[in-house]
Amino acid sequence: MIKINSEQVKALREQTGAGVMDAKTALSESGGDVSAAVEVLRKKGVLKAGKKSDRATGQGLVESYIHGEGRIGVLLEINCETDFVARNQDFKALAHDLALHVAASNPLYVARENVPTDLVEKEKSIYREQIVAESKPANIIEKIVEGKLEKYFQEICLLEQPFVKDPDITIKELVNQKIATIGENIQIRRFTRYVLGE
């Protein structure tokens, strides 16, 4: 039996925001290795991320990011469950990365649920007209429209965009990884992107 000391538990909790029992269990499973314990928590947490999504997020922070010698600025509000996590370096780093991503990728909405229905219908209508003009068979028009709409959501919705620092994952996957690591629900509430002169 590996002896886990309180310093190891504290170090793991500070790094991940995990609960005491979760930290002890992860350290036991990793043989007392803190960095391996983070991976254990991440693997377990990914499975828990879905369960956490219903939990209230009343804490968090507003992150600012200025780019291009003051030409582009972003304010982003990101929420978590506790002020302990809001002060966590991982959480702050996530907020910074998200604000940087907004500056670089210019999303218009946080999620597809935020896109106004009339805008979605207008896009569908434009796609239908394009497809009809291309003389595509009537039975596949709706499938093509849905495919184009999916691509549209990926372009304008923050959660569906590929992360600028790692295009192999989406912003939603990045947030879920942090939920897994930190152990709390995390929500991107809103953002505003400013461009000089616009």
**How are beta strands 166-170 and 162-163 bridged, if at all?**
antiparallel
Together in a domain, 126 and 189:
no
- Is 186:57 a contact under the CB 8 Å cutoff? yes
106 and 63 both lie in a single domain: yes
Task: Note whether residue 184 is domain-resident.
Answer: yes
Instruction: Output the pLDDT for position 140.
Output: 84
CATH of the domain at 13: 1.10.8.10
| pTM assigned to the model | 0.68
Euclidean distance between CA atoms 106 and 22, whole angstroms: 38
- Residue 92: give its domain's CATH number: 3.30.479.20
Per-residue pLDDT tens for 96-123? 999 999 999 999 999 999 999 999 999 9
pLDDT band at residue 33 under the 50/70/90 scheme: confident
Q: Mean pLDDT lowest for which of 33-37, 46-50, 56-60, 194-198? A: 46-50
| Range of the structural domain that residue 11 is part of | 6-52
Residue 144 lies in a domain: yes
Are residues 167 and 71 located together in one domain of the fold? yes
- Calculate what percentage of the chain has a pLDDT beyond 70: 87
Q: Over 80: is that where the pLDDT of 61 sits?
A: yes
Q: Are residues 172 and 95 in the same domain?
A: yes
Q: Do residues 21 and 93 both lie within one domain? A: no
Which pLDDT value is given to residue 47?
40
The answer to whether the CB of 175 falls within 8 A of the CB of 79 is no
